[in-house]
Amino acid sequence: MPNASDRPRRVTIDRDGPIVVEGPVEVVLEDGSVVTSQRFAAAICTCRRSRTYPWCDTSHRRRTSRARGEPQQPCPRSDGAPE
């Protein structure tokens, strides 16, 4: 929250998910364009699969056949690296 406290802005990292940044936040993209989120927190995509990049759209989730009781099969990809 803006001016909510003097402590540094918190950024939360999740190995298998987005980076969550206290909002509002501006993100400068590679082409120099700037996008803004006014939310109290923004989830920034790190898997590069999001169709609403740079915002997370949960595309990082593992994909699996839905049949109950079957082991979850992560889809093949290079250890979390951007594709």
Partner 1 sequence: MTTSQEGPVLSPREERRRLVQSLRRRPAGTVLPQPRGALSASVIPALQGAAHPLPGHADVARADPYGEDLQLALYILYEMHYRGFEGVDDHLEWNAGLLGLRGILEDRFLTALRKDTPHGRSVDDALADLLVEPVGDDGTSVTHFLRNEGQLWHLREYAAVRSLYHLKEADPHAWVIPRLRGRAKAAMVAVEYDEFGAGHAEDIHAQLFADLMADLGLDTTYGHYVDVAPAEGLATVNLMSLFGLHRVLRGALVGHFAFVEVTSSPGSRRLAEAMRRTGAGPAAERFYAEHVEADAVHEQVVRHEVIGGLLADEPALAPDVAFGVEATGVLEERLGNRLLGAWRDNRTALRTPLPDLSSS
Using CB under 8 A, list all residues that contact partner 1: 12, 14, 17-18, 20, 38-43, 51-52, 55-58, 61-67, 72, 75
Cβ(46)–Cβ(19) below 8 Å = yes
What CA–CA distances, in Å, run from 39 to 26, 48, 74? 11, 21, 31
Tally of CB atoms within 10 A around 43: 21
| Closest approach of partner 1 to the CB of residue 40, in Å | 5
| Closest approach of partner 1 to the CB of residue 82, in Å | 18
| Closest approach of partner 1 to the CB of residue 6, in Å | 17
* Choice between 64 and 77, CB closer to partner 1: 64
Which token pair is 45? 């995509």
* Choice between 48 and 61, CB closer to partner 1: 61
* Choice between 33 and 72, CB closer to partner 1: 72
Which residues touch 9 (CB under 8 Å, ≥6 apart)? 21, 22
